Amino acid sequence: MRTRLLAANWKMNLTANEARATLATLRAQIDPEAATLARDREVMIAPAAVLIPAVAQALAGSSFLLGAQNMHFEDKGAFTGEISAPMLKPFGVTHVILGHSERRHIFGETDEVINRKVLAAIRHRLVPVLCVGETQAQHDAGSALEVVLGQLENGLDGVGGEDLRRVVVAYEPVWAIGTGRNATPEQAQTIHGAVREMLRERWGSEAADTVRIIYGGSVTPENIDSLISKPDIDGALVGGASLKADSFARIVKARAG
């Protein structure tokens, strides 16, 4: 049984004060059930980089994991505006979202750059949450699977079987992100199943069965239960609905039905 991952991607939202208030409300709802929830799930918060120290402090003594939304593949150097794994780790960051569709489509990140980041995360023992997903046009053209598998193939180039087990894949169809139009659980399961099959062919059953494949794109308290009821949907990467403590708390308490 894979441990589910419910992850909040706050994107470029919340000030430090807003983050503290949100986490106080969230912890009030999650901490009392933390031991029970921890039996089959992990919860991760990925705030904007500048909020990481404040969020680390606000999460002290909780079971929440701390993630970054991006990082550079080099450890240090003349890369103005960038942050590196050795800068993140002292704050207790354990996960890093890489290749999010906004990084790919707004900031022009290529599969090659994302692959270098994945390898850097692995080198530093950070869990890469590698995002893949097709655009609306690719979806309409019927090439979703081809796009997703291509992004995965490139993004995971050079990753060994032992390291693959720790990778989290996030399937996030671009047409579903922030649109209120989530993929149906059946649509997502079809892609997730094919992703696991591809991982199995390349890295073997044991590694493929260990990798968490989470879904992202308009996840809400209303659709989370049916999404995680599918055999290959191991959790969710949540944007908009993670900004409100009440709705993210409900998502964290998801129940497969």
Q: Which residues bind ligand PGA (CB under 6 A)?
A: 9, 172, 177-178, 216-219, 237-241
Q: What is the DSSP string of 122-183?
A: HHTT-EEEEEE---HHHHHTT-HHHHHHHHHHHHTTT--HHHHTT-EEEE--GGGTTTS-PP
Residue least distant from ligand PGA (Cβ) = 239
In whole angstroms, the minimum distance from the beta carbon of 129 to ligand PGA comes to 10
In whole angstroms, the minimum distance from the beta carbon of 244 to ligand PGA comes to 12
Please identify, using beta-carbon distances, which residue of 160 and 178 lies nearer to ligand PGA: 178
In whole angstroms, the minimum distance from the beta carbon of 35 to ligand PGA comes to 28
Strand partners, 42: 5
Which residue of the set 95, 100, 139, 192 is catalytic?
100
In whole angstroms, the minimum distance from the beta carbon of 32 to ligand PGA comes to 26
Q: Collect all residues with Cβ–Cβ distance below 8 Å to 74 and sequence separation of at least 6.
A: 82, 84, 120
Please identify, using beta-carbon distances, which residue of 5 and 207 lies nearer to ligand PGA: 5
Please identify, using beta-carbon distances, which residue of 23 and 46 lies nearer to ligand PGA: 46
Q: Which of 120, 138, 128 is nearest to 100 (CA)?
A: 128
Residue 100 annotated as catalytic: yes
Please identify, using beta-carbon distances, which residue of 188 and 241 lies nearer to ligand PGA: 241
- C-beta separation of 191 from 148 below 8 A: yes
Please identify, using beta-carbon distances, which residue of 100 and 166 lies nearer to ligand PGA: 100
* Residue 225 token pair: 């239960």
Q: Which of 190, 95, 87, 98 is nearest to 144 (CA)?
A: 190
Largest CA distance in the chain: 51
Q: What is the dihedral of CA 20, 176, 98, 96, to 10 degrees?
A: 30
Q: What gap in Å lies between CA 159 and CA 53, rounded to an integer? A: 30
Q: Is the dihedral of CA 184, 187, 190, 191 positive or negative?
A: negative
Which residue of the set 42, 134, 172, 192 is catalytic?
172
In whole angstroms, the minimum distance from the beta carbon of 105 to ligand PGA comes to 11
> Using DSSP, how many helices (H) and how many strands (E) does the chain show?
13, 8
As annotated, the active-site residues are 100, 172
